[in-house]
Structure 1
Amino acid sequence: MKFNACFFEACSSLKYNSLRTSLTILGVVIGVMAVIIMLAVGKGVQSEVNDSISSIGSDLLVIFPGLQNSGRVKKPGTSSVTLTIQDADAISEIPEIYRVAPVISKTLQIQHRDVNTSSRVNGVTPSYHLVREWDLISGDFISDQDIRSRNRVALIGTTVAQELFGDFDVLEKIIKINNIPFRVLGVLEKKGSSITGRDQDNSVFVPISTARQLIIRSRFPSSVSYMIVKVIKGGDQQFTEYQIKSLLRERHRLRDGETNDFSVSNLTDIASTAATATRALTVLLASIAGVSLLVGGIGIMNIMLVSVTERTREIGIRLAIGAKQSDILLQFLIEAVIICALGGLTGVVLGISISWLISYLVGITVEVTLGSILISFFISSFIGVFFGWYPAKKASRMQPVDALRIE
């Protein structure tokens, strides 16, 4: 029997048992749809993490003050202040270092006329934008003259600009930080969320000298909240980290065996760990969804076995009048593949639609790729062949006499 004849015979059989066919297809639809959605969510999370990592910058080390105990670092303020401007100056002398950006930071109220918002205010030096690779939409960066003169100027992120002004045309306008007026010097480009989920664009940057004098006062005038270190391109970050630790221990007069009163975080290591974790999450989600696809395949086998049993007499008649075993095998395989192909196509369409709906309603990033669509569809087709093979083989091996004997 030709393939076309087997195909139309298979379609006719599936149409005759339309309810059973529909329920079997539903199992495949759910499986493929689940795989598409899980892969889309996993890929979306992976993209968000990668974007957050790239927005921070490359070749960075972050140094925090505070006693280090049992692998944990106390937050600044919970222990004696241990990092100073002088430490930053000393670190900048290490040959492998490109720039050091000391920062003092605090969450404060920002106001423009009758509109106010809460934002992270950072006192920084001119090296900050070089370390963070953070460009401007408009305006100028904080300069050395701003530091020396303690000028009341501020750079603002896009979130602050939108909340206070509604647009980015804000140069030379006045904002108040803790009721102290500052002139807007520039608007920074959008950075998005950090790895921890904090909105980096909800930030204000002022000269570190101005911040220390007027808005972020401390009992320790030279202390800093943290510092960001950028290693020269191609530099050995691990060795540079060792040099920084050795230098700070020497400057802080820590004896052998004493715990560091600071911590150094390597953002490259953090980025690598985050990327590995998100890839593992994607694989886990896809594997969980794959179980439902496997269950759908088992459902196909069960339904096909029932179909073979119900159609035993039909199979016997066809064999008796000259049909070959290969014709019977091909027809049942075609039926299984048609079921999976229809289920796969429907599952792909629903999976893409529901992924976009989830993104719209929940606000998370989803990423449907051509690869995930093709993988889901071809796996569903393979499942049709794999789980349809045994029932088809069983049907093709029937003896006409035995099959016709069954009522």
Structure 2
Amino acid sequence: MNPTASTALLTDHYELTMLEAALASGAAERRSVFEVFARRLPEGRRYGVVAGTGRLVEALRDFRFGEAELDRLRTAGVVNRQTLDYLSDYRFSGDVWGYAEGECFFPGSPMLIVEAPFAEGVLLETLVLSILNHDAAVASAASRMVGAAAGRPCIEMGSRRTHEWAAVAAARAAYVAGFSTTSNLEAGRTYGVPTAGTSAHAFTLVHDDERQAFEAQVASLGPGTTLLVDTYDVPRAVRLAVEIAGPQLGAVRIDSGDLLVQAREVREQLDSLGATNTRIVVTSDLDEYAIAALAAAPVDSYGVGTSLVTGSGAPTAGLVYKLVAREGADGSLIGVAKKSKDKLSIGGRKYALRRLNRRGVAEAEVIGIGDAAVDDGDDRSLLVPLVRDGEVVAAADLAAARARHDASLAELPPRALQLSRGEPAIPTVYEDHGR
């Protein structure tokens, strides 16, 4: 989601100066292969989650330099007239493959591959990375939270803790990774993510007392609503909530205090009042570790905000966009790679497989250099076409992405779900069948 009509200036200045120099040198039309990958996962993470692919292909459709964009570049003196002429006709004509949205990834996974003339591909670097780094970071954190919740629903409610448009993207990414609903209405309108919400403390405080607030909410939203019970005194509020809504009260929400102790006390109190089916929702700066600590508590669902939209300590997925092959004098592709210390890349166009054992459990992320995979019968191909000849061919289906994530996570070994620090759940293995 982006509030601007064109995505062309959602990029860095140096993308355009590289273009200008490449047009002058003659390299602009040289066939090139760019690759998106993470050299490593955030410390202690066992896997990452691909998210943002659907947003990316939509942004690519809008990557056009109209009069407003060209005028800005002209008046700011960013590039010369030749480059402006090139940009006025810019249309991405290449191919894009990638890991399908919802798929798990590991260090070195070629989660996106762009093949196009250098001029077309280099312009996409910043756009690609800004979308995928953000969305994959949120989805990776969300997946860990959903795993810690062990089947209890998680609600995304971080809109007030991030940029207004990042909030929409975060809600979408969290939904891909298994969150059930979001509080963000724009995410509901744009992407169809289910929305939910009832009231905040302000609603209670604006009324003369808690009784008046609860009566007003139940009268408006019905007894199945969720009443916030920690504005003043929790036991008193729970009694009042059941008195007003009856034993059919939908849920109560606790947003402060020792959540483990309070959840147990509230559950006991609800049951004693006959509200045995009333659910307990907890919020208050939760992350995956706090959710895991509440596993033994009688909690029915979790609302997560700040930690989710900031990647739970890893606000970027650490993805990079590197040139890995270029056209040689004879027209064939030549692998190229960065050799600098601590930032090595591996040249050559790649394919990727998830190697499974006979029980269907993943054993390795296999990355091959060359044009064709060698399938031994226990490998699952990971790259799917996203854009062909400049046209989007992948459907942005959130339901499919959610199902894909469930399936991808289910085939990983059990250690993938551990929250303790450790190595990636499976190793990355390189095989060269193309050189």
TM tier relative to shorter chain: under 0.3
Higher relative contact order (CA 8 A, sep 6+): 1
Task: State which structure, 1 or 2, has the greater radius of gyration over its C-alpha atoms.
Answer: 1
Q: What TM-score do you get using the length of structure 2 for normalisation?
A: 0.24
Q: What TM-score do you get using the length of structure 1 for normalisation?
A: 0.25
Give the structure with the higher percent helix: 1
